Structure formats: C-alpha cells, structure tokens
Structure 1
Amino acid sequence: MLVIAGHALAVVFVPSGMPERLERSNPIWLLMGSPWAGVWVFFVLSGYLMGKGFYSGRYEQSQESVRGFYRNRMMRILPMYYAVLLIVSVLVAPQIFSAGHLWEIVALGLFSLQSQAPTPVVGALWSIQTEMAFYAMVPLLFFILNKTVRVLPPWLLIVALGALGFTYRWWVLKETQNVGCISRAYVPLIANLDLFMIGMLANWLVPTASRIWKKVPTLPIGLSVMVLAYIVSAYVFVQASYGVHHVKYFWYAINVGPTFTTLVALSCILLFESHVASGKAAGAISGRAIAWSQSAGVLSYALYIWHEPVLVQLRTVANHDLTSGQAIAASIVAVGLSVVIAFFAFRLIEMPFERKKMDAPRKVLAT
C-alpha cells in the first residue's frame, strides 16, 4: 500500500506547485507514502518469510524439499507475471513485439531486463526480477546463515550486514554524485541483499524477543512504530522529490532510507510476532486494522503488479495541472480500479495456481 499510495499521489497524480506547497507547510504530503520505503519493507518481509519456511521446518535442505520450494515460488510468481507482461504489452506497448525490441520481452521473460530499457512495459517489474533472484538464493543463504549463527549471534550479523549495505550505498552516491545512482544504489540485487538477509535473520531473534517482551503491549507499540515510520519516510521522500533542498533529502532517502526502513521492518516483525506468541487478543481498533490488512494482503501481489499500468493510462486522460482535490480524487479512482482488476486477476489467474502449490510437513528447527 505504501508503493501504491506513493505512485498514485507522489509520482503520477502529483498536485501542481508541490515545491510551493511544501514551503507553505501544506499537509498533503502526509497522503504521499514513500514507494521506495514500500519496496524496502517488502524485501525485508520477503526475507523473513522465505527464511521462515526453512527455519520452521516446512522446507528442509534436501533436493526434494528445495525443488518443492522452487516450484511453489514459481506457482506464486510466474502466472501473474507473464499475464501482466502479455496483456500490457499487447494493449499498451505492442512495439515490443517488433524485431528490434523482441530481445526486451525475452529478457523480461527471463527476469533479466534492466529498468532503463527502451520499453520497460511495467516499471515495477524490476523488483519482481530482484525477488526472483533472492528466491534462487534462499536455500544457500539459509544454509550459510544457519551455520554462521552457531558461531556469531544473529544481532551481530544484522549489524554487520546493515553496515555493509549502508557503506555500499554511501560509496555509490559518492562515486556517482547522485547521477544514475538509482540504477546502482536502488535497483541492483547487491544494493538490496542486506535487507533480504536481515529479514531472514529475524527468524533467529523472534523466539528471544517473544520471551523478553511477553508482558509488553507489543501490538500497539508496533502499530505506533509503523505510523511514525510512515510519516518520516513520506516526508523525506516528498522533500527529496519536490522540496527546495531536494539534493540533501535525496541523499538521506536513498542512503539512510534502506537502513532506517530495515530497522523499522525488523522491529515490527519482532513486535508483532511477540504479540502472536503471547496469545493476547487484539483490541477493537487493532483487530479491524489487522483484518483489513490481511484482506488487502491476499490481493497484494496482483495489486502491486497491475497498479502501475492503470495509473499511467489514467494519467493520460487527466488534466495536466491538478489541484489537491483533483489529485486525490484521481488517485482514489486509480487505486479503486486497480483493486477491481487485481481482484479478478487474483481469482482467475493466481488462485488456480495457488491450489497447485505443494505443501510440506512442518517441524520446528531447534534453537
């Protein structure tokens, strides 16, 4: 939802005169979630959940189990990915089927097309390509981490990985002077590997956190952390995009942002999992928020992969200059239409393949 809200109001349907609005402290930026932060949260959560599959014993490090893991990931990702690639290419970018562009659709099909390609079809597909590379590495990464945590504490590995990721992004920004750094500090696998691996390492911290925070109200604390982090990330992203001091804020957004977002996501994982382990019931407001987020989560992949072409096409029929009200209204219409398309895509494409995923016996890994 961070990505979709950010793409809608902070990228596609941007109110006119944003620099002046920010100078006047116009609060509309509060509605502009940071799409960058959304992707970083996604990578951390993905690392946690992929690692949890092996940590919990659902998957084992045997050839048969690893093949089951890969098969399940393909059943989850490939049908929707190829469907949006085909449909959007035919309707919006038919030139990609010409001889001169055919290599692009082949590269997209093989998850290897760069986001700066002449015909990206759907720009958001770069993160799916990165995620597929992570999936390919999961069994090996888990094997390495499972051996390493027997020698070094997981929190120390998290600190080391966070420092390495921060240093890499700092070095890229210094070398590029912010020119072309998106392709080197935001998109590449190496620039996001620390986020994914820290997410995986969260599995070894959850049991300890659950014991220590057993009597702590971790659910409201976690929700409060999410709200505060949303405000901070939205402000920095909007300032980096449209503010007078955008160069300074861009450095914070692209270099500090991933590390900050990783720590927030890691904290929320530990807080929410501790709440589950405590057996406490959620309050009325928290319970509704959880139910709503789970409903949205069912459509999350379909919504993520379809929202961008919907936004881009609707922008072509909207006014060039938008007032705040027009921008908000256009964003609501675009998101609503994206939800409708995502719902039918989920029912017709994703759900049939979801039923074909292989289940696996579960056993808890000794800690």
Structure 2
Amino acid sequence: MFCWRHLAMVADGSGLRPPNRWDALLTLRGVACCLVIVAHCGPPAQSLVWAGQDWSWLLFAPGGVAVRVFFCLSGYLIGKGFYTERYRFDRPGIIRYFQNRATRILPLYYACILISAAVFYPHSWQPNHWGHLLRLLTFTYEHSLPFEFNAPLWSLSTEVQFYAIAPLIFWASRRWLKTGQLLLVAMAAVTSGLMLYRFGVFELIEQLLGSTEGNPYFIRYIYTFLPANLDAFLVGFWLSPLMQKLHQNRPPTIDPAEGQTDPIEPGQGLQVRPWVALAWGRSILGLPWKGWAIGAMVLLYGLAAWWKYQGSDRVLLVAPGLTVLATGLFIFAFERRVYFSSGRNRPLSRSAMAANPLRAWELLGLLSFGLYVWHYPLLKVIGPLITNRSPLVAYGERLGLVFLGSIALASFTYWAIEIPAIRWRKKAQRSPERSLNDSNR
C-alpha cells in the first residue's frame, strides 16, 4: 500500500523551486461564480439582435449549472485531501478535516447571515422568521421556504451536508472501489441513476400538481436536495483515486509533466492497458486533452443557455448530468499529470502574476466565496435603482454595479474574515506539514 502523503511530498521535489502554474480549477470556480451573478441579474429576452438573429440566449447563463460545477470541484478537492492522506482516516485526521472545513466556511457564512439580516432583510428578526433563521444557521436552508432572504445560500447548506458525510464516503469508497474499472462503473451508475431520479420526480410532480413552475417540491427534492446532487460531488471525489490508479499504471515512456517528478515508478501495478495509454496521451484525435475539456465547458454553457432561453425542461433535467461529465473531464484534463504536485504551486502574488499573467484569473476564484454570498443582497438594493428604459442597457448597468460592489465587498471580507480564519487555523493546528494551498480551497 502506498503512503500517498509521503509520495506527494516526494513529488514536490524538496529543494526545488515550486512551479508557477496557472490553477485552472481555481479559475473555473471563479468563472462559475461570475455566471451565477450574470444569471441572477436577469438578462432581457430579445434584446441582443444582430444580422436578423436573436442572440440574447448567450446572456442567459445557467446558474444551476454553475453551482454544480462548484459541487464537482468541492468533491474532487475533498476526495484528494483524503486520498493523499492530508486527512488521515483516524480520530486526529477527522478532527483536522472538520476544523479545516469549519474555519473555511463558518466565519464568512455567519457574518453574511448577520449582515444580510441586519442590513438587507430586516424582517428576518420578526419572531415568525426565527425558525427560518435557525434553518440558515444549521445548514438546512433551501430557498423554497416562505422567507425572503439571501437565496443562493442554499448551496452552502447542500455543500456542508456533503462535508458531513465525506469521511464515510471515503471509508466506503476505499473499501469497495479498489480498481479503476470499479470507479468508472460507480461514476457512470451514480450519474445515470440520478438523471433517472430527476426525470422520475419531475414527472411525478407534474402528474400530481400539474406544473413544476415555481413549485417548492421541485426545489426541495431535485434542485437543492443533497442526494439529487451527489453525482456532482461523488464523480469529483472519485476522480482522485482514479488518477492515483493512472499514476500506478503509467507507461515507462511517458513523463508525468514537464519539469515534474512522479513519486510512482512507471509500469507498477497492472499491465499497461489501452485506456491508460489514452489517458496519459497529450491529445485525442489531434486535439489536446485540455482543449477537449475547455470545449466541453463552452458547449455545456451554450446548450444550457439555449435550453434556458427556450424554457426547455432539459436545463433542469439533462444539464445537471452533462455538467458532471464536462466538469469531470475538465478536472481530469488539468490534474492528471500534476496530481501529486498541483497543491504545491507558487502562492498567488503580484510577482507570480507578472511571471505568468494567466494566473491573474485566479483572483476570481480567490474571491469567489465572497462574490457568491454578497451579490444577491446587493442586487436587492441596486436593482430598483436602475431606471434606464433600454432593457439591455439597464441589464448592463445592473450587472456592472452588482459585480463591482460584490468585488469590493468580497475583497474586504477576504482580508478581514477569510485570511484571519485561515491564519488562526494554521496556528491552532501547529502542523509542520505544508498546506495544499488552503486559501484557495
């Protein structure tokens, strides 16, 4: 049995200067957050016409798809933490895991609830809403409740619920999913199974209630329900052991990545198979893996935006499954060769961005938590102030002001709340081990 913690440290190359690699996953999280803002700002229909064609659908960002990108990324990062033994499966390791999750989520989350209730939603303090506030505080909130508040916080409830069961998922996965084939079968089963679940519950709601339009049962049992979103979390989670299997079976003629060492000798484990050679290859049909991954994300956006614009049920039923596939491909394409060293990248700084300008995109990911929790209350205030008669111009003004305001608030709370919480956690744990870029997780 490999000691993955030791291997990851070897892969880092002690004494070597850390790479200044663009963090594609952090960037993807930031872009997904921006798409949520675009969606919530309410783009107008039939407002972007060019050459006789209506292109307004390009503005109809699918916010639900973007949130499931978050879920898949979270699943991968949590799974990687366990499989690389950053979090050992023992009492100290589990305590460390929950400490890390708590200090990452709770300070800004509770600050957002307090400020939102005090400034943006003062009716929240009325006694008849105390139960709803309790739901928020205990991560059991979903926005079908008869309670006007910061609706996007539902996804934090779903995500924290996943964090609570992640150690059990790791235990079960390590025990029963021991081969790459079993992992792939499990991914296919959970993705197809939950797609069938969404179709089934959707049809049931329509049969019983006549419509799913604004229906709280759809939100409660499909959109926000943790079991209905487990495909995103689990596929991300299982990508980590799959990439470990890939490294165990690396063909001897293939280097993991330019300038990187691999802690596993090539050719170990099972005999190299065609799928392993394909996975290690740099391209498929002449197009690099990363090109396929970026193309899949662009295609996903286009399909989901078109379905949303047309009012198609596919954006609710098919798009979640496609999101899992596209995001899983993206993670695999960008992480497969640098799996053991991606967490030991050069910290994001001005000098790092000057040396690699592409890393400036990571700033969106770094601020994504704050952008996500602050944009909706700001929209509540800014939206009514926009009175431009042109729907497209009004939308542009609304989006611009909300985005700039969210950037400002997110930057402030990042330095005032998130960074101090991370520093406190590191000081409290007093661990000599190097962190896996905690501030970006």
TM range (shorter): 0.7 to 0.9
Aligned with 1:328 (options 383, 392, 396): 396
Q: CA RMSD in A?
A: 3.1
Runs of 4+ in 1 over 6 A off after TM superposition: none
Aligned with 1:64 (options 75, 85, 92): 92
Q: CA–CA distance in 2 between the matches of 1:38 and 1:340?
A: 22
Number of residues paired by the alignment?
Answer: 352
Q: How does 1:355-366 map to 2 (within 5 A)?
A: 355-357=423-425, 358=429, 359=431, 361=433
Between 1:152-161 and 1:43-52, the stretch displaced more is 152-161
Question: Residue 257 of structure 1 corresponds to which residue in structure 2?
Answer: 319
Q: CA–CA distance in 1 between the matches of 2:396 and 2:295?
A: 20
CA offset at residue 303 of structure 1? Answer: 1.3
Question: Residue 296 of structure 1 corresponds to which residue in structure 2?
Answer: 364
Q: CA–CA distance in 1 between the matches of 2:361 and 2:186?
A: 31
Q: 1:17 to 1:321 in 2, by over 3 A?
A: farther
3-state SS of the aligned residue for 1:276?
Answer: coil
State yes or no: 1:216 paired with 2:244: no
Q: CA–CA distance in 2 between the matches of 1:339 and 1:105?
A: 26
The residue type paired with residue 233 of structure 2 is F
The residue type paired with residue 176 of structure 1 is I
CA offset at residue 133 of structure 1? Answer: 0.4
Question: Residue 144 of structure 1 corresponds to which residue in structure 2?
Answer: 172
Between 1:227-236 and 1:169-178, the stretch displaced more is 227-236
> Normalising to structure 2: TM-score of the pair?
0.72
The residue type paired with residue 266 of structure 1 is G
Question: Residue 257 of structure 2 corresponds to which residue in structure 1?
Answer: none
Aligned with 2:384 (options 303, 316, 320): 316
Q: 1:221 to 1:325 in 2, by over 3 A?
A: farther
Q: How does 1:49-198 map to 2 (within 5 A)?
A: 49-150=77-178, 153-177=182-206, 179=212, 180=215, 181-198=218-235
Q: CA–CA distance in 1 between the matches of 2:134 and 2:291?
A: 42
Q: CA–CA distance in 2 between the matches of 1:360 and 1:52?
A: 20
CA offset at residue 278 of structure 1? Answer: 11
Is the Cα–Cα contact under 8 Å of residues 48 and 196 in structure 1 kept in the other structure? yes
Question: Residue 202 of structure 1 corresponds to which residue in structure 2?
Answer: 239
Q: CA–CA distance in 2 between the matches of 1:55 and 1:9?
A: 35
Q: CA–CA distance in 2 between the matches of 1:167 and 1:137?
A: 23
The residue type paired with residue 226 of structure 1 is I
CA offset at residue 362 of structure 1? Answer: 8.1
Q: Structure 1: which 5+ runs fail to align?
A: none
The residue type paired with residue 194 of structure 1 is D
The residue type paired with residue 73 of structure 2 is L
Is the Cα–Cα contact under 8 Å of residues 36 and 66 in structure 2 kept in the other structure? no
Between 1:137-146 and 1:215-224, the stretch displaced more is 215-224
Q: 1:292 to 1:37 in 2, by over 3 A?
A: farther
Aligned with 2:54 (options 5, 26, 42): 26
Is the Cα–Cα contact under 8 Å of residues 198 and 222 in structure 2 kept in the other structure? yes
Q: CA–CA distance in 2 between the matches of 1:254 and 1:2?
A: 21
Q: CA–CA distance in 2 between the matches of 1:162 and 1:8?
A: 27
Q: Percent identity?
A: 26
Q: Structure 2: which 5+ runs fail to align?
A: 1-29, 251-276, 343-352, 436-441
Q: CA–CA distance in 2 between the matches of 1:60 and 1:278?
A: 17
Write out per-residue CA displacement over residues 303-348 of structure 1, whole angstroms, 9 at most, x where no aligned residue.
1111111122211111275432332233122111111110001000
The residue type paired with residue 125 of structure 1 is L
Question: Residue 233 of structure 1 corresponds to which residue in structure 2?
Answer: 301
Greater relative contact order (Cα < 8 A, sep 6+): 1
Q: CA–CA distance in 1 between the matches of 2:79 and 2:432?
A: 15
Bigger fraction of residues in helix: 1
Q: 1:25 to 1:2 in 2, by over 3 A?
A: farther
CA offset at residue 106 of structure 1? Answer: 1.7
Q: 1:238 to 1:4 in 2, by over 3 A?
A: farther
> Normalising to structure 1: TM-score of the pair?
0.86
Work out which of the two has the higher radius of gyration on C-alpha atoms and give 1 or 2.
Answer: 2
CA offset at residue 68 of structure 1? Answer: 1.0
Is the Cα–Cα contact under 8 Å of residues 14 and 322 in structure 1 kept in the other structure? no
Write out per-residue CA displacement over residues 14-46 of structure 1, whole angstroms, 9 at most, x where no aligned residue.
22546x969953334334432111111111110
Q: CA–CA distance in 1 between the matches of 2:317 and 2:196?
A: 9
Aligned with 1:15 (options 19, 44, 65): 44
Is the Cα–Cα contact under 8 Å of residues 75 and 236 in structure 2 kept in the other structure? yes
